[in-house]
Structure 1
Amino acid sequence: MNKAAEMNELRKLQFDDLEDATDEATRLLQTGYQAKGRWTLGQICRHLRLVQDPSIDGYPWWMSAFAFLRPVMRRTLLPKILTTDSPRGIPTSPPFQPGADLDDALEVERFAASVVRLKNHNGPFAPHPAFGKLERERLLQVHTAHAAHHLRFLDPDEPNTH
């Protein structure tokens, strides 16, 4: 494999639940990492939190403008999102883009707190902007797959010894 292809090769990463994602973020923080994308660990964790928290707090009203597309998105995009090779290059809406110069340790901690909050939430969840109202377990699967999608762009400096 040539160097360019190697740089584009991403880890196959799949988590059983969001706690596995926080464990991986913590491991990357401890071992160090090489980014194969444009975001640092801190930026990824901030983005994940910015996307997760509205599941409880509600998404911006304008994200419902294309709600009529949700059945199509659920049928076509959702199965792809839930794989270990989810699509790349989908633009991130500005409210969910992380800023620059974020502290990795602080953002990993905040991501972990967001996961605990999400897992402990007993009330209703806001409809997902792309997929609409999802059952609790499916919504958690979406967030778990989303975390794996982004964290696969970071290669740990030390290989996993498990």
Structure 2
Amino acid sequence: MTPGRRTLDYPDFDAINAEVARLVEGCSTAGAWSLGQILHHLASVTSRVLAAPVDGPHDTSLRVPPERRDEVLATGRLPEGIPLPAGLGQPEDIDPREGARLLREALAAMAAAPGPLAPHRVFGHLDRDQWLRLVRVHCAHHLSFATPTGPEAAR
């Protein structure tokens, strides 16, 4: 695990939005990405889930067995180093406040999506609750690289 990361687990999207608001007030980051890049990535990937076709060709080259999926969902931990989805590339370093807005919008759209949703490129078919959990795990994974330093850090 990258030194300086925190252990996070979010019970819902409101908790993610509250954490992002704290981080926007000031934070340091471990790893290679700034807070703006982290937020841009999370918003982009969450939005892509909603835009992906449910039926049709899907890249299955990274698929893992259902037991691995279940472990990630149960522990809330993603391994470091999973390759970015094709076509996504390095996230743009945007203003963190803009990134927070984009992520809030993506999370709201995800929460409102009735399903079915496209299969995950690594974990395959997920039901709606599994998708919501995976989005929270994905956010916790990336936000764990940011540590609050602003006035809200003590919370």
TM interval, short-chain normalised: 0.7 to 0.9
Query: Who is 1:15 aligned against?
Result: 10
Change (3 A) 1:101 1:161: closer
Alignment map for 1:22-37 (pairs within 5 Å)? 22-30=17-25, 32-37=26-31
Quote the offset at 1:113 in angstroms.
0.6
Instruction: Quote the Cα distance in structure 2 between the aligned partners of 1:62 and 1:36.
Output: 38
Change (3 A) 1:156 1:10: same
**Partner secondary structure for residue 155 of structure 1:** strand
Instruction: Quote the Cα distance in structure 1 between the aligned partners of 2:76 and 2:4.
Output: 13
User: Does the CA contact (< 8 Å) of 1:73 and 1:130 recur in 2?
Assistant: no
Instruction: Quote the Cα distance in structure 2 between the aligned partners of 1:66 and 1:98.
Output: 22
Instruction: Quote the Cα distance in structure 1 between the aligned partners of 2:74 and 2:81.
Output: 16
Alignment map for 1:4-153 (pairs within 5 Å)? 8-30=3-25, 32-58=26-52, 64-66=58-60, 70=63, 72-80=64-72, 82-153=74-145
User: Does the CA contact (< 8 Å) of 1:25 and 1:41 recur in 2?
Assistant: no
Deviations along 1:38-69, whole A, 9 cap, x unmatched? 1111111111122111222116x9972327x7
Change (3 A) 1:99 1:160: closer
User: Does the CA contact (< 8 Å) of 1:54 and 1:126 recur in 2?
Assistant: no
Computed over aligned residues only, the root mean square deviation of the Cα atoms, in angstroms, reads 2.8
Percent pairwise identity:
28
**Partner secondary structure for residue 121 of structure 2:** coil
User: Does the CA contact (< 8 Å) of 2:115 and 2:128 recur in 1?
Assistant: no
Instruction: Quote the Cα distance in structure 1 between the aligned partners of 2:144 and 2:128.
Output: 24
Q: TM-score, normalised by structure 2?
A: 0.83
Aligned length: 154
Q: Which runs of 5+ in 2 are unaligned?
A: none
**Partner secondary structure for residue 87 of structure 2:** helix
Q: Which runs of 5+ in 1 are unaligned?
A: none
Which of the two has greater helix per residue? 1
**Partner secondary structure for residue 7 of structure 2:** coil
Matched AA of 1:25: V
Quote the offset at 1:156 in angstroms.
0.8
